[in-house]
Chain A
Amino acid sequence: MARAATTTDAFNAIAEPQRRQILDLLAPGELPVNDLVALVGLGQPQVSKHLKVLREVGLVDVREDGRQRLYRINGRMLKPIHDWVSNYRQTWEERFQALDQVLDELKAQEKRT
């Protein structure tokens, strides 16, 4: 199934491990870019480049606070990615529930013999 263009971009954006690290760091709340630079351990230009990609696909938002730029996660954009994995999980869960029934029967058989 074709995904919407913005979703594809978001998927590509989180495929990069350092961008995922940035998203993890932003999960608890918003951070100024300087803190992110210190925590990620990359140079400011690289961190800014990653933030730009994340901002373009809407995964992070930025706001000005005095002289600081504060970044935060946009949870709404992460939801499609979460849903995508959820569908796959649901498929396996249905399968496992059928397996639960088979196992119950095998246990009962084993008790009888």
Chain B
Amino acid sequence: MITASSGTARVTLPSDTQILITREFAAPRHLVYRAWTTPELIKRWWPAKRGKMTIAEVDLRVGGRWRYVMIADGGLEVAFHGEYREIVPNERLVSTEVFELVPDAEAVDTLMLTEQGGRTTLTILVQHQTKAHRDAHLESGMEAGLQDALDLLEQVATALR
């Protein structure tokens, strides 16, 4: 199906400790919210083409926990978890987020959905405690496959020296 009517993701860094992601979707926001919070649906989009999602746990209530686990194509297991802090169905979802390989760096994610004419603008504000954590988060977002390729390239380059 053609989805050319959707936008492309924008990523900006409003301050040293924040990441702001925005994207428009050609669907009403209750459907975006459903896809965002239903485990069977999360498993279909969250890993994109970079791996297979093995766990999508969603205990959607304030104080409830979530946990996502993916096996990346290189075989690396990546896991994230957090706790829901604020829930306004179809509109706003505030949760904590910890990348389990960097357990000290807890971020607070705010998802906001606004709808106009059947289209939804999705905004995610990621608030980190420190700039170092924010930067590490940005780096971890690099495609797993590209990361493997770069590591390999580095090994080859070192061997040639």
* Contact surface of A with B, Cβ cutoff 8 Å: 1, 11, 15, 17, 84-85, 87-104, 106-107, 110
User: Which B residue's beta carbon lies closest to that of A3?
Assistant: B139
Is the Cβ of B13 less than 8 Å from the Cβ of A87?
no
- With A and B bound together, what is the CA distance between A93 and B135 in angstroms? 19
- With A and B bound together, what is the CA distance between A94 and B49 in angstroms? 7
- With A and B bound together, what is the CA distance between A106 and B151 in angstroms? 39
Q: Does B156 contact A (CB under 8 A)?
A: no
Is the Cβ of B45 less than 8 Å from the Cβ of A89?
no
* Contact A88:B11 (CB < 8 A) given known A97-B48, A98-B45, A103-B35: yes
Q: Does B142 contact A (CB under 8 A)?
A: yes
Contact of A89 among B9, B44, B46, B147 (CB under 8 A): B9
Is the Cβ of B138 less than 8 Å from the Cβ of A99?
no
- With A and B bound together, what is the CA distance between A94 and B35 in angstroms? 15
Tell me if B's interface is mostly helix, strand, loop or mixed: mixed
B52 — which chain A residues lie within 8 A by C-beta?
none
Task: Kindly supply a per-residue 1/0 record for chain B positions 13-51, scoring 1 wherever the CB is within 8 Å of any chain A CB and 0 otherwise.
Answer: 100100101010111000110110000010011111110
Tell me if A's interface is mostly helix, strand, loop or mixed: helix
Task: Indicate the size class of the contact surface on chain B.
Answer: 35 or more
* Contact surface of B with A, Cβ cutoff 8 Å: 1, 3, 6, 8-11, 13, 16, 19, 21, 23, 25-27, 31-32, 34-35, 41, 44-50, 131, 135, 138-139, 141-143, 146-147, 150-151
Contact of B25 among A11, A92, A99, A110 (CB under 8 A): A99
- With A and B bound together, what is the CA distance between A66 and B31 in angstroms? 64
- With A and B bound together, what is the CA distance between A94 and B11 in angstroms? 13
Contact of A85 among B26, B50, B138 (CB under 8 A): B138
Is the Cβ of B9 less than 8 Å from the Cβ of A93?
yes
Give the 8 A-B residue pairs with the shortest CB-CB distance, closest first. A88-B141, A98-B45, A94-B48, A103-B27, A100-B3, A99-B45, A89-B11, A93-B9
Is the Cβ of A102 less than 8 Å from the Cβ of B35?
yes
Query: Within the complex, what minimum Cβ distance (angstroms) separates B134 from chain A?
Result: 10
- With A and B bound together, what is the CA distance between A32 and B85 in angstroms? 50
Is the Cβ of B35 less than 8 Å from the Cβ of A106?
yes
Is the Cβ of A95 less than 8 Å from the Cβ of B11?
no
A88 — which chain B residues lie within 8 A by C-beta?
11, 19, 138, 141-142
- With A and B bound together, what is the CA distance between A102 and B151 in angstroms? 33
Query: Within the complex, what minimum Cβ distance (angstroms) separates A78 from chain B?
Result: 13
- 22 A-B pairs within 8 Å (CB atoms) are namely A1-B139, A11-B135, A17-B16, A88-B11, A88-B138, A89-B9, A90-B143, A91-B48, A91-B141, A91-B142, A91-B143, A92-B9, A92-B23, A92-B141, A97-B6, A98-B48, A100-B26, A101-B45, A102-B45, A103-B25, A103-B27, A106-B34
